[in-house]
Amino acid sequence: MSRDETIRDPFLEWIEAYALGSLDPEEQTRLAAHLAGGCRDCAKALAEARWVVSQLAYLAPEAQPPGQLRQRLAETVRREAGRERPVSGKPIPFWLWGAVAAAALFALYNLREAQSLRETVRRTEAALDEQLELQKKSAGELALARREAWILSDPKSLKIEMPARQKGVPDLKATWHRALGILISGEKLPVPDGKRTLQLWLIPKAAPARPIPSLTVRPDRNGTLHLLVENPPDGQAGTRALAITEEPEGGSPQPTTPPLWVGALAGT
């Protein structure tokens, strides 16, 4: 016989109580240290004991847990209820098992509560994030709206009429603020087919007056066009006119169709 078989690991006696959390602090520390040392027997016993403890919630009065655990449970319950000394050999009354099951259920309930609390916190955080995102977005929209209002109301802004080149197509209005950009709007406009888009061009004063590409935009389904060019590719001083053509999606480096609207800058 080997030494391992003749001398039983004394810590095994404590495993069930450990799983139940009913060891006193000193015993608990010693066993934890022993487990941390890598004892396989104790680790295996602990896994079994934990499984049994996890099953307590389903424990019927007639269920027969392993003798040692049964004894430990009884001790635990007695210790908790009145701090009596355990009386060995005495059969465990049903109410005691009920108390243990209730304690296990209570523990389980607390665990669920904690999980549900965590879930609530997580959801609240998600909702907050969403709210912040919305606020950021509306702050951005508000900033744009202010910018546009400023462009439209500043008397120093340059008003540019952009008459349509085709009959029956409404004219556009452009307003160019030196610092805040160009705002172009129109209503009841024909909507370009499929994936085609409208593109703005700045026609320079200087020869060869090659149009400088700017932003693309599609009128909405009602034919309303709203374009804010925050950073025009050139300034008012160097620009003779604004023009809009219809281009493939994404825009073109140079116009591929005749302009639909052209607006000369006043005084040029």
**Residue 9 contacts Zn ion per CB under 5 A:** yes
- Report d(CA 56, CA 63) in Å as an integer: 10
Among 13, 39, 59, 236, binds Zn ion (CB under 5 A): 39
CB of 73: closest distance to Zn ion in angstroms?
A: 21
| Between 11 and 201, CB nearer to Zn ion | 11
Residue 42 or 180: which CB sits closer to Zn ion?
Answer: 42
Q: Where are the beta strands (DSSP E) in 163-238?
A: 172-177, 181-186, 197-204, 212-217, 225-229
Task: Write down the least CB distance from residue 34 to Zn ion, Å.
Answer: 6
Do residues 172 and 184 lie in contact, with contact meaning Cβ atoms separated by under 8 Å? Answer: yes
By CB under 5 A, tell whether 97 contacts Zn ion.
no
Report H helices in 57-184.
Answer: 67-80, 94-153
DSSP 8-class letter at 94:
H
Q: Which stretch binds Zn ion (CB under 5 A): 3-11, 140-148, 211-219, 257-265?
A: 3-11
Least Å distance, CB 36 to Zn ion, is 11
45 binds Zn ion (CB under 5 A): no
Q: Supply the Cα-derived Rg of the chain in whole angstroms.
A: 40
**How many residues at the interface with Zn ion, by CB under 5 A?**
5
- Binding residues for Zn ion restricted to 220-259, rule: CB under 5 A: none
According to DSSP, residue 90 is labeled P
Helix and strand tally (H, E) in the chain? 6, 8
DSSP 180: T
Q: Decide if 248 contacts 256 (C-beta within 8 A).
A: yes
Alpha carbon distance 104, 70 (integer Å) = 14
Nearer to Zn ion, 33 or 108 (CB): 33
Residue 67 near residue 75 (C-beta atoms within 8 A):
no
Query: Helix or strand or coil: residue 216?
Result: strand
Instruction: Find the shortest distance in angstroms from Cβ 86 to Zn ion.
Output: 23
Decide: is 13 part of the binding site for Zn ion (CB under 5 A): no
Question: From the CB of 80, what's the least distance to Zn ion, in Å?
Answer: 26
The residue behind tokens 């269920």 is: 63
Binding mask 152-191 for Zn ion (x = CB under 5 A): ----------------------------------------
Among 17, 42, 100, 229, binds Zn ion (CB under 5 A): 42
Residues that bind Zn ion (CB under 5 A): 9, 11, 39, 41-42
